Amino acid sequence: MKITILDDWQHTIPTLACFARIAGHDVTVWNDHTKDVDVLAQRLKDTEALCLIRERTPIQAPLLDRLDKLRLISQASVYPHIDVAACTRRGVIVSSYNFPGQPSWATAELTWGLVIAAMRRIPQEMAALKAGVWQTPPIGMVLRGKTLGIWGYGKIGAVVAGYGKAFGMNVLVWSRDAAREQARADGCAVAASKEQLFEASDVVSVHLRLVDATRGIVTAADLARMKPTALFVNTSRAGLVAPGALEAALRAGRPGMAAVDVFEDEPVVGGKHPLLAMENVVATPHLGYVERNQLEGMFARIFDQILAYASGTPINVVNPEALAK
């Protein structure tokens, strides 16, 4: 089969052990990124199986209608970037393994790394030290005894809450009813309201899926309730925050800091994003799930889905109607 892998920005996928599973197939790996439909249509014109790395490239009807040879899209996790209806109409199978019941340990660990880096100003002090300056203001803060606010007590939020407890923090949760009950069972305090979560917390970390109901759910008013010494953390999706609200809140001084791993339009190149110009922001280029062990597990499933399709028994099919076509 002719297989194409998009958006391998760090030149990693061919170095994974599982890459050997598709030996003998005609594989093309693209290391750059484009959303240009004309460019993608040219690159993918002979592709039969397309491998995606999460939501990096949207696959919508205008592109799909130009890919006559495409038969399978193989990926892992959620698929809001794929026009599944258009795939079904064209007989393109979408196979996606969703890792049921398993948190993204890599994302949870990166979240905690950002919390520590921001609260102790590690990136800023590193930059100052390399520039010849010894200890710069303002001074950092310890986590022990402070309140960690978790909005979204799902698989990742629960792991981050556990890290907070290990660091001696008081964990305060706001989430759906069932998740709040689980948080109580796990020994966490539950906020009386979303407003209280933002007002009382020294660190607020959001762990929500981005769907229509959660887009822009973190408002300017929410951020304005935070302490001037507080930290806002987002390793989930940038779209959870109302457009421009975080930048404006940081300029207004509430919260005093932010740590982000996600941006509205990715990848961000050339440093062209207002958050990257702020001294009180620690930012990383969407590294949450980007870790060798996690990519190994992800692509083992992605390649298994391709092999299953090639053998005539597709697995993890999200649009079974396409099988009839």
User: Looking at the DSSP assignment, which residues form a beta bridge with residue 73?
Assistant: 50, 94
* Cα–Cα distance, 294 to 301 (Å, whole number): 11
∠ Cα 175 179 250 (to 5°): 25
Chain centroid to CA 230: 22
Whether residue 173 contacts residue 161, with contact meaning beta carbons closer than 8 Å, is answered with: yes
Chain centroid to CA 180: 23
Whether residue 146 contacts residue 171, with contact meaning beta carbons closer than 8 Å, is answered with: no
* Cα–Cα distance, 271 to 21 (Å, whole number): 37
Catalytic residue among 121, 237, 273, 301: 237
Query: 3-state DSSP call for residue 77?
Result: coil
Give the phi and the psi of residue 44 in degrees, each rounded to 5: -105, 10
Q: Is 237 an annotated catalytic residue?
A: yes
Q: How many residues does the chain have?
A: 325
Q: Which tokens hold the place of 33?
A: 């990124």
* Cα–Cα distance, 187 to 164 (Å, whole number): 12
Sequence-distant (≥ 6) Cβ neighbours of residue 14 within 8 angstroms: 8, 29
Q: Is 48 an annotated catalytic residue?
A: no
Catalytic residue among 266, 291, 296, 321: 266
H or E segment to which residue 231 belongs = strand 231-234
Q: Which tokens hold the place of 169?
A: 């923090």
Whether residue 92 contacts residue 64, with contact meaning beta carbons closer than 8 Å, is answered with: yes
Going from the C-alpha of 75 to that of each of 79, 105, 299, the distances in angstroms are 8, 19, 8
Taking the alpha carbons at both ends of the chain, their separation in whole angstroms is 19
Catalytic residue among 121, 273, 286, 301: 286
Q: Is 273 an annotated catalytic residue?
A: no
Least Cα distance to 54 among 26, 22, 82 occurs for 82
User: Which residues are annotated as catalytic?
Assistant: 237, 266, 286
